[in-house]
Amino acid sequence: MAASGLATLFYSHSINPITGLSTLSSPARIRSSPRVFTGFHSLRRRGFRRFSHNVTADPFFSFSCNCFSAVSTTTLDYEFTDGGREVELRLRLRTGEILSPKDISVDADGTSLAVKEKRNGLLITLLETNQLFEKIMPSETIWYIDEDQLVVNMKKVDGDLKWPDIVESWESLTAGMMQLLKGASIYIVGDSTEINQKVSRELAVGLGYSPLDSKELLESFSKQTIDSWILAEGPESVAEAESSVLESLSSHVRTVVSTLGGKHGAAGRADKWRHLYSGFTVWVSQTEATDEESAKEEARRSKQEREIGYSNADVVVKLQGWDPTHAKSVAQASLSALKQLIISDKGLPGKKSLYIRLGCRGDWPNIKPPGWDPSSETGTPSQFT
């Protein structure tokens, strides 16, 4: 049984996930001038436009999102600071003109923010995103004009979470996930060994984790390819050998492990998950679903029917087709899903650590007390936390 349900993300490579993100990931920094406030405004009593949320939760505790934020901006000049409970965004406004609060539009809603400035009767978008790094309290958002800068102050829902940047992007996720993972390893599972390898390598580079590949380790040990091993000894032998490799890796921290795909892979077998539970598992699965809701329902059915071992995974990323050049985008989707999962239960990394210290006995997620014998049907039934 997986820890907390299946966090699900749907990714279509027809969407370019990188477009717009680089604009905010490496901004031109501007120097703040002395504060001369020309207006102070709050969204508490304002009506504000509703954006479609990127992340929604259903009764099965399954997350779904569009994977990548739609970000548009006409300016590179901005400053961002995280002050603990609040974050502050400063945007450069046009200079040489007297600005009125009526010339500014600031709309916020959950994980969305739109900032616009009126020029010659037209509203020009300064910044618009439907995926802030995390959730804010829209009614607590205030803004004011400080000389040639617009200052937007937003209160975070989770004041303990440090925001590396204003939007969720590859750069902010790889920086921000370190505080959430707390050294826990990540395992990439799924039917395609190639996809698992490419996604895991991108994750390892981004997080600064050690990349480990069970296919390479097995071939190095056996001095033969996986295909020739299957022909000589059968898929059962390969799955058993990979299970032994996963056991040896289960005590490692700060690693991203790529597992074998197909029927010869250990991860596809429910009885081989004892050591996979030691880290966070991402099931990268190809799908024929054409929309987010269909992909989420497909993942929920897999979870309930439990026909394959992959359904034990902590999160699933559903792919509409596969393009090797988009491996980084799939890795980003994986981090986004893991972020939502851990934020929903910040005790998970510590629980993974405890599971390892007790010997990866297979009692995930209901960890039994020390001394419990996994081979005994009469082991202590109480849960240990």
Give pLDDT, residue 6: 58
Of the candidates 65, 64, 49, the one whose C-alpha atom is nearest the C-alpha of residue 128 is: 49
Domains detected in the chain: 78-156 (2.60.40.790), 170-358 (3.40.50.300)
pLDDT at 60 over 60: no
pLDDT at 69 over 90: no
The percent of residues above 70 in pLDDT, for the chain, comes to 76
Cα separation, 66 vs 62, whole angstroms = 14
Confidence of residue 3 (pLDDT cuts 50, 70, 90): very low
Cα separation, 331 vs 333, whole angstroms = 5
The total of other beta-carbon atoms located within 10 Å of residue 183's CB is 14
Cα separation, 138 vs 214, whole angstroms = 46
Contact 122, 128 (CB under 8 A): no
DSSP string, 151-205: EEEEEBSSTTSPPSSSB--HHHHHHHTHHHHTT--EEEESS-HHHHHHHHHHHHH
Cα separation, 200 vs 193, whole angstroms = 10
Q: How confident is the model over 251-285, as pLDDT tens digits?
A: 999 999 999 999 999 999 999 999 999 999 999 99
Residue 294 class from Cβ within 10 Å (0-12 exposed, 13-18 middle, 19+ buried)?
Answer: middle
Lowest mean pLDDT among 33-42, 85-94, 188-197: 33-42
Contact 117, 55 (CB under 8 A): no
Report the amino acid identity of residue 310: Y
Token pair listed for 366: 């209901």
pLDDT at 20 over 60: no
Asked whether the bond before 59 is cis by omega within 30 degrees of 0, the reply is: no
Confidence of residue 43 (pLDDT cuts 50, 70, 90): low
Give pLDDT, residue 171: 96
Give pLDDT, residue 30: 31
Through-space distance between the first and last CA atoms of the chain, rounded to whole angstroms = 17
CA dihedral for 259, 262, 264, 270, sign (positive or negative): positive
Which residue do the tokens 């996720």 mark?
Answer: 173
Q: How confident is the model over 95-115, as pLDDT tens digits?
A: 666 677 888 999 999 999 999
pLDDT at 54 over 80: no
The total of other beta-carbon atoms located within 10 Å of residue 25's CB is 16
Confidence of residue 232 (pLDDT cuts 50, 70, 90): very high
Lowest mean pLDDT among 83-92, 292-301, 324-333, 343-352: 292-301
Give pLDDT, residue 302: 73
**pTM of structure:** 0.81
The percent of residues above 90 in pLDDT, for the chain, comes to 61
Of the candidates 67, 12, 92, the one whose C-alpha atom is nearest the C-alpha of residue 291 is: 12
**Mean of pLDDT values over 65-79:** 52
Name residue 318's beta-bridge partners: 10, 285
Cα separation, 241 vs 221, whole angstroms = 10
Give pLDDT, residue 8: 59
